[in-house]
């Protein structure tokens, strides 16, 4: 039969919150409840009848609670196939009740690891009985309903109310699928801890997902795996698209480089087209927009300070897809919400992953995230002339931007303002030429500006072109066998060059 009546339930959970309404409903439906340990005590305290598992198995909890439910009278009741006469006969022979509902959650292994607990505490949070109950009940979904997480309590209480203690095969199969999702995620977390998140095996599990309108293009399907609500509070606008999410990711990583002064960045296709640091957020916005007001149209905006009314009024003059800030003045939010489709996000403080993955060919590439950013203390002056203090500040500023720009790339900056960049070019010379053209197109004088490169110069042609454009100081990783050629050109033309030893390719 597709429909099954819940007669007996096993309840054994670590988290008791929101459990009471379920127990109350089961009791009202006349369901016999079996439980153990803390869950049994909880049920007794709310005044509901409960039978101790130990009374069913005639065996006590042993080994400090490590073994409680691992017994044939429990697993027989869960795994028995109701349509097989032999199974039914064995249940009668050994006085085993059919268990129709299992409510169990798992010890908080991931939370324990994240807390910095010691090895023994972590080991004790590897659930044995719970994971076994989940797998057994999910395997026998034709007869048993499995609730494997407190996140499913709402689903269960609705089911109990709507179907008066009955369940359909569709209900049971749905929860079985969820159960194997829970158990596989749990085992992945345990393996990765034992493996010290090593790179010899690729195992990742994310249980949250969001279906997107489409992927990179309308003919491609797209899904985001992760918990956006942990990262942002969405205050306005439509759902983020696949391309929005790529830009938002680039924006969040870029703005994290800037904390000392109010900073505004504008991104398009994962690259900054405008960025400035100023004494006020409004000034930062105006100078960021001046960097490339054409590309800014339809872009993603991000800043590192709460947005005030004056800044919001200026931002509102631009069509943009997404605005991200740590907070907003109420009046500023009202202004930004005038565009109903504009996505407005309040960014929360969340630790981001330190590993990156990308599908390639028939496998996956994994790498450590690029978390190194050389600042003034890491600069090594390679030329006879050292950069001025103002140039050093701008070199550090430009080097942060070049790190987050698609290769090959060149970045021009002056007075902590992005003047122009050449992005994603097949040659560094082309990237430099592109940056020069863009700077001139928007009326910037490059005299006294600085240049940052994501990788070394194999020939002196780049510094020669930069010199002709007015650049006076350069930051680059170094490492070419012909580094000295570029240094010699700078020395001969009164330019300063510093090296960082850190390349920032970005593909």
**Distance linking the first and last C-alpha atoms of the chain:** 56
Catalytic hit among 139, 185, 234, 385 = 139
Alpha-carbon distance of 130 to 70, in angstroms, equals 9
Three-class secondary structure of residue 148 per DSSP:
coil
**Catalytic site residue 174?**
no
Residues contacting residue 451 through CB under 8 Å, at least 6 positions apart: 398, 410, 411, 412, 432, 466, 471, 473, 474, 475
Ramachandran region, residue 298 (left: φ > 0; alpha: ψ -120 to 50; beta: rest):
left
Alpha-carbon distance of 231 to 228, in angstroms, equals 5
Helices 461-469 and 428-441 cross at an angle (nearest 10°) of 10
Beta-carbon count within 10 A of 382 CB: 19
- Both tokens assigned to 392: 């050093």
Alpha-carbon distance of 41 to 39, in angstroms, equals 5
Alpha-carbon distance of 164 to 337, in angstroms, equals 45
CA nearest 232: which of 307, 337, 324, 316? 324
State the residue for tokens 């950013």.
373
Catalytic hit among 185, 269, 337, 440 = 269
Beta-carbon count within 10 A of 7 CB: 15
**Catalytic site residue 269?**
yes
Beta-carbon count within 10 A of 268 CB: 21
Residues contacting residue 85 through CB under 8 Å, at least 6 positions apart: none
Alpha-carbon distances of 296 from 4, 229, 265, 267, 271, rounded to whole Å:
59, 27, 10, 7, 11
**Pair 202, 364: CB distance under 8 Å:** yes
Q: Which residues form the catalytic set? A: 139, 269
């Amino acid at each position: 039969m597709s429909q099954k009546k819940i007669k007996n339930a096993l309840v054994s959970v670590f988290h008791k919150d929101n459990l009471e309404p379920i127990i109350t409903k089961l009791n009202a439906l006349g369901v016999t409840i079996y439980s153990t340990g803390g869950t049994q005590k909880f049920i007794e305290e709310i005044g509901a009848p409960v039978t101790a598992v130990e009374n069913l198995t005639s065996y006590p909890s042993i080994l400090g609670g490590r073994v409680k439910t691992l017994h044939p009278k429990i697993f027989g009741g869960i795994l028995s196939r109701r349509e097989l006469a032999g199974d039914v006969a064995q249940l009668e022979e050994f006085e085993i009740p059919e268990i129709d509902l299992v409510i169990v959650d798992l010890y908080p292994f991931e939370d324990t690891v994240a807390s910095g607990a010691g090895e023994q505490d972590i080991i004790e949070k590897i659930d044995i009985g719970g994971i076994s109950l989940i797998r057994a009940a999910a395997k026998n979904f034709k007869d048993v309903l499995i609730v494997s997480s407190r996140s499913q309590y709402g689903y269960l209480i609705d089911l109990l109310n709507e179907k008066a203690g009955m369940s359909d095969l569709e209900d049971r199969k749905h929860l079985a699928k969820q159960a194997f999702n829970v158990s596989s995620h749990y085992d992945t977390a345990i393996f990765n801890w034992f493996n010290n998140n090593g790179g010899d095996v690729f195992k990742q599990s994310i249980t949250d997902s969001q279906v997107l309108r489409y992927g990179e293009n309308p003919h491609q399907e797209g899904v985001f795996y992760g918990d956006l609500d942990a990262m942002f509070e969405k205050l306005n606008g439509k759902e983020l698209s696949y391309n929005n999410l790529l830009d938002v990711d680039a924006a969040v990583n870029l703005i994290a480089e800037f904390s000392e002064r109010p900073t505004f960045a504008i991104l398009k296709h994962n690259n900054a087209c405008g960025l400035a640091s100023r004494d006020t957020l409004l000034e930062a916005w105006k100078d960021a927009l001046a960097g490339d007001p054409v590309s800014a149209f339809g872009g993603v905006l991000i800043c590192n300070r709460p947005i005030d009314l004056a800044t919001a009024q200026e931002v509102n003059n631009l069509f943009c897809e997404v605005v991200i800030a740590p907070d907003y003045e109420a009046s500023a939010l009202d202004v930004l919400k005038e565009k109903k489709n504009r996505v407005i996000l309040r960014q929360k403080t969340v630790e981001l992953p330190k590993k990156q993955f990308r599908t390639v060919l028939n496998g996956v590439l994994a790498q450590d995230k690029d978390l190194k950013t050389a600042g003034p203390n890491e600069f090594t002056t390679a030329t006879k002339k050292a950069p001025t203090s103002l140039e050093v500040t701008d070199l550090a500023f430009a080097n942060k931007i070049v790190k987050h720009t698609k290769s090959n790339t060149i970045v021009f900056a002056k007075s902590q303002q992005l003047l122009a960049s050449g992005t994603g070019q097949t040659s560094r010379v082309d990237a430099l030429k592109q940056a020069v053209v863009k700077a001139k197109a928007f009326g910037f004088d490059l005299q006294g500006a600085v240049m940052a490169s994501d990788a070394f110069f194999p020939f002196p042609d780049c510094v020669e072109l930069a010199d002709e454009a007015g650049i006076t100081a350069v930051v680059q990783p170094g490492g070419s066998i012909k580094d000295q050629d570029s240094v010699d050109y700078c020395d001969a033309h009164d330019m300063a060059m510093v090296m960082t030893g850190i390349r920032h390719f970005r593909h």
